[in-house]
Structure 1
Amino acid sequence: MSLKRVKAVIFDFDGTLVDTVRPLAEAWARAASMLGISIKPDEIEKYVGLAGPEISLKITGGDEAKAAELRRLKDQVYESEYVPRMRLFDDVKSSLSLLRNNGIKTGVASSQTSRRLKQYLLNLGILNMFDVLVGSDVVARRKPEPDVFLKAAELLRVKPEECFAIGDTCFDYESASKAGMRFILVSRRGNKCDGAEFIVGSLSEAVSIVIANSSNLKDSP
């Protein structure tokens, strides 16, 4: 299949736009300790990128009642202690501006709920830099299934093959691949995903790839 001109970029949120991988892992670990579960943040980091229900079930070993209580406690810890300190990676605003200036549509497809995602982006001052937002609560299946990326493409009125997905985990890669999108892994922590078309160290590098592919390829028929 020939490559198509890129018309849109769909971003993951946690770990891609915001430096939240470690804070989320710490919040989960602290909540787990309140339930008598001993687990280190390092052990949880590999799950960040999945939605809360999946992470909580992994931590509790499949105990659904305990997982629900774990999510409640984690939300309390995270919202009160970590969200106020949430920060964008340094190159996010300039990268988003560059995409806008080049006429490339933008969206976010996240394992966060839509309500939280919108509030976080508003707090960070970049809500108006995205055309669409899709949270895990508005699709039938969460990452690593393709639903959030496909829904974002639908709302952007572009075909999946006209999109680049940008994320920081193999869950993002699997989700984007199933959606039929090209993928760029932003590997700030040295992580790898077998099969990823591009692996870069920063968002600005990823956006440079997107822009190069927005001008030198053919439109979809």
Structure 2
Amino acid sequence: MAKVLVLDVDGTLVDTNYHHALAWFRAFRSYGVTVPVWRIHRAIGMGGDQLVPEVAGQEVEDSSGDDIRAKWKELADGMLPEVCALGGAHELLRAARDAGYRVVLASSGKPDHVDHYLDLIDGRELAGDWTSSKDVEATKPEPDLLEVALEKVRGEQAVVIGDSVWDCVAAGRIGLPSVGLLTGGFGAAELTDNGANRIFADLHELRSNLDDLPFGGTSAS
């Protein structure tokens, strides 16, 4: 029975969450909107289509949402050289492949960012496929990205692995179990309260427990 690991990327395989939070803070400020960085961090894991109204309200989304997202992209591009892979990212992908799992990366990041991260983790030959924001109209916590990822790498059972509450919420909306990592700055209780079935401190601990992950049935075949 084919099993699929659906892996988030930002904050899960690469250390980007705080870069993104600061880029969003600066992007909002450039349009006269001040949102506390802590509040932005609580929304990291959402795509930009969801994040702007979540943290700044629908009025800001309606008046400046596209401009703020464009500014965020410009600022985030400038931070890419500072981004590092999280410890154990490449080793996890290799171990999952060697164990017979199908691996798909379900990212809501911009396509060029995802390409950069794939190079950082040397993951192109280890992941069966990957997504980006261009693949869907609505990003996490909507489950669309997960559904597209599962279509790309089909299997009878799957588990969603991510660092944010939004990964867990998205997984729950399509009836899949989720595993939470503490690498993105979300607490264990937050992840569990939003549906995570297991919690691991980092990718090394996750790799040591690949044989003990919760899997749920999927309609993909």
Q: With the length of structure 2 as denominator, give the TM-score of the two structures.
A: 0.85
Q: What value does the CA root-mean-square deviation take over the aligned residues?
A: 2.3
Match of 2:5, SS?
strand
Match of 1:129, SS?
coil
Distance 2:66 2:165 in 1: 25
| 2:201 corresponds to 1:206 | no
Partner of 2:76: 78
Contact 2:9–2:105 (Cα < 8 Å) also in 1: yes
Q: Which sections of structure 2, spanning at least 5 residues, go unmatched?
A: 215-220
- Aligned-pair CA distance for 1:211: 2.5
Larger radius of gyration, structure 1 or 2?
Answer: 1
| 2:162 corresponds to 1:173 | no
**Matched residue type, 1:90:** G
Match of 1:112, SS?
coil
Contact 2:129–2:153 (Cα < 8 Å) also in 1: yes
- Aligned-pair CA distance for 1:213: 4.8
Deviations 1:155-212 (A, max 9, x none): 11213xx111100111100111222222110023334221321011112222333323
**Matched residue type, 2:50:** E
Distance 2:76 2:213 in 1: 38
**Matched residue type, 1:202:** D
Distance 1:116 1:108 in 2: 13
Match of 1:127, SS?
coil
Contact 1:6–1:164 (Cα < 8 Å) also in 2: no
Distance 1:213 1:53 in 2: 31
Q: Using the aligned pairs only, state the percent identity.
A: 25
Q: Which sections of structure 1, spanning at least 5 residues, go unmatched?
A: 215-220
In the alignment of these two chains, the number of paired residues is 209
Partner of 2:134: 137
Contact 1:22–1:41 (Cα < 8 Å) also in 2: no
Distance 2:203 2:121 in 1: 17
Match of 1:32, SS?
helix
Partner of 2:16: 20
Distance 1:10 1:71 in 2: 26
Distance 2:213 2:72 in 1: 40
| 2:164 corresponds to 1:163 | no
Q: 1:183 aligns with which of 178, 182, 201?
A: 178
